[in-house]
Structure formats: structure tokens, C-alpha cells
A and B are shown apart, each in its own frame.
Chain A
Amino acid sequence: MVPGRAPQLAQMRKGALEYCVLALLKDGERYGFELVRDLSAAELVTSEGTIYPLLSRLRQDGSVETTWRESTQGPPRRYYKLTSTGKASLDSFASEWRQFCRAVNGILESGGVK
């Protein structure tokens, strides 16, 4: 549960977070609460409440769209779904991220790119 101490790591975690949200929606729509639970369980966030502002921004920039569904228990639930814009930005992030990780890992492990 202890997040990285380095402020740079916190920034990177924050930057990657929105793509993790998009990735969780790859296989279909999800209930907002479940999304937050998954990100929290993966230790990507320590304060679950901070994800809601991010979800709100993703709605605004058109990466996700939402539908309200009645629930058998409690208030209606907001379900999130990836849009084509969201899918495109996830795909481009994923390929750049993999390349970035390979480069960083190469240097961390052997002191030089293989």
C-alpha cells in the first residue's frame, strides 16, 4: 500500500492512471465503483475518492461515455464504456508505454540498451 516515495514516481503513476481506467473498460462497460475497486486493489491509488475527478474528466473529453442503470440495492449506478476516441488513445499509449518500459528496463538491468 505504500506508494513510491519519489515524487517523479507519483507523477508517472498519476499519468498512467487514466490509461489504466481506459484499459479496464476494454472488454466492456463497468460500474464506476468496480473500476475504483480494481484500481485500488492493484495499488495504483491509495485514495479511492481521487479517481472520481479523473472519471469526470474522461467523460468530458469524450474518452468514455456513461449510462445510468437502476440497481436492486441502493441508488442508480453509472456505468462507463470506452468510446472510439478512448480506444484510440489507449492503443497509442499502450504501444508507446511498452517501448518506454523496454528502454528503461534495459538500462536499469544492464546499464545499457541491448
Chain B
Amino acid sequence: MNDAHLDSGLDEVVRRYLDELATSLKALPAPRREQLVREINDHIAQLRSERPPRDLAELEEILNRVGLPEDIASAALEFEEIPSLSPGRRRARRVRVVISASAAFLLFALAAVLAQVFGAFDSPGANPGHQVAEITMPNLIGQTQPAVGSEMALLGLKDTIRTATSSSVRMGLVIVTSPGAGSNVKKGSTISVTVSAGLPS
């Protein structure tokens, strides 16, 4: 896995961590929530720039230092005088957060490696002779390319990226997918993802 793939994989793990944090902070008024998420984001960025993580384990060390989203959320909610989660639920979530972040990263890394190594081959379905599962395409419009890559990997889909100029969608974000959101697709099939190359010249 090269540096670009590693960095976008790590960015994705951080994005999920921050999403998790924002979800834990739902009870907080929106401006306070956004401010805290921004502060934590800056803190992680600062830690990452001081000693850039070379793999997922090193990034997890950083995130461990920053703390579990629920712990940060209970500290924030305590000051708001809103009851926080019970200890039992927190333990269960602790495990889930770690598992989902690691799983997302591994799938993403695997997809990146497979795409590079086996790019030329169209591998046959994983379960020949068995019924292939159908997946409903999520709405990926407006997401970043790495986010879409990991989402596809999670769903068991492949993607081919095309670019097109756009005056309404920012560079690097998805303009459209084919098949589109809501369509049923077979697991393992290839989705065409069109990413904005910015304004037409």
C-alpha cells in the first residue's frame, strides 16, 4: 500500500471517529457540538503532524490518547447537565467502535491492494453456484472519493472512477454513480463513479 492509499485510509478512520463523536454529542446544541468536533479534529491533526502514523496501529494510539467518543461526549454532556450513558452501555460501545473502525480500515486497505494487484483481472464471484446477494445502492453523491472507496469495499462492490468537470460539485466529490442510488445491484458488481474535476475551463 503506498502513502496516498495509507493516508486516505487513515483519514477515513479519523472521519469515522469524528462521525461517531458527533453522534454521541447529539444531545448538545448544534453550535457547541460542531465547535467541539472541530477542536477534536484540530487536536488529532496536530498530533498526526507531530508524529505521522505509519500504520493503523499508530493512528489508533493517537485516537486512544484523544479518548473514546463516548468519554468525550460524557465530559461535554456533564457540563450541560444532561444525563450521560450508563457504564454498561459504554463498555459495549467501546468494543463496537474499535471493531468498526478497524474493520473499515482493513476492508479499505484490502480493496486498495486488490485494486492495485488484480486491477487487470475480473475475478469470478466468491461463491460460484450460490445465489449472489443483492445490494441497494446508497446515495454517494457529494462524498469524497476515499469515502466512496471504503463504502464500496464495505458493501462488496467494485468501482471504476471517471472524472468530469462540474460547475456545481466541488472538485474531488462524487457527481453521480451508475447505477444510481436506490438501484439493486449484485454483490461484486462494478459501479461507475463520476468524480468532479472542478470547473470547466
Contacts and interface: CB of A to CB of B under 8 A. Distances in A.
A50 B65 contact: no
Contacts of A57: 79
A87 B8 CA distance: 45
A75 B46 CA distance: 10
Interface SS of B by simple majority: helix
Contacts, number: 56
B42 A47 contact: no
Nearest to A73: B49
B39 A52 contact: yes
Contacts of A99: none
Given A40-B65, A48-B66, A48-B67, A53 B42 contact: no
Nearest to B74: A50
Contacts of A88: none
Contact of A53 (B36, B46, B68): B36
Given A47-B72, A54-B79, A74 B67 contact: no
Contacts of B90: none
A49 B42 contact: no
B35 A56 contact: yes
B45 interface: yes
B76 interface: yes
A33 B48 CA distance: 13
A33 B46 contact: yes
A33 B43 CA distance: 7
A46 B43 CA distance: 15
A56 B34 CA distance: 12
**Is the interface on chain A under 10, 10 to 19, 20 to 34, or 35 or more residues?**
10 to 19
A52 B42 CA distance: 11
B32 interface: yes
A53 B82 CA distance: 14
Contact of B72 (A32, A53, A74): A53
Contacts of A56: 32, 35-36, 76, 79
Interface string A75-112: 10000000000000000000000000000000000000
Given A40-B65, A56-B32, A74-B49, A49 B43 contact: yes
Q: Which 7 A-B pairs have the closest CB atoms?
A: A47-B67, A53-B76, A50-B75, A49-B72, A49-B67, A49-B66, A53-B75
16 contacts: A32-B39, A33-B46, A47-B67, A48-B43, A49-B40, A49-B43, A49-B71, A50-B72, A50-B75, A52-B40, A53-B78, A54-B79, A56-B32, A56-B76, A73-B49, A74-B45
Interface of A: 32-33, 36, 40, 46-50, 52-54, 56-57, 73-75
Given A49-B66, A54-B75, 20 more contacts: A40-B65, A47-B66, A47-B72, A47-B75, A48-B67, A49-B67, A49-B71, A49-B72, A50-B67, A50-B71, A52-B36, A52-B39, A52-B40, A52-B76, A53-B36, A53-B79, A56-B32, A56-B76, A56-B79, A74-B45
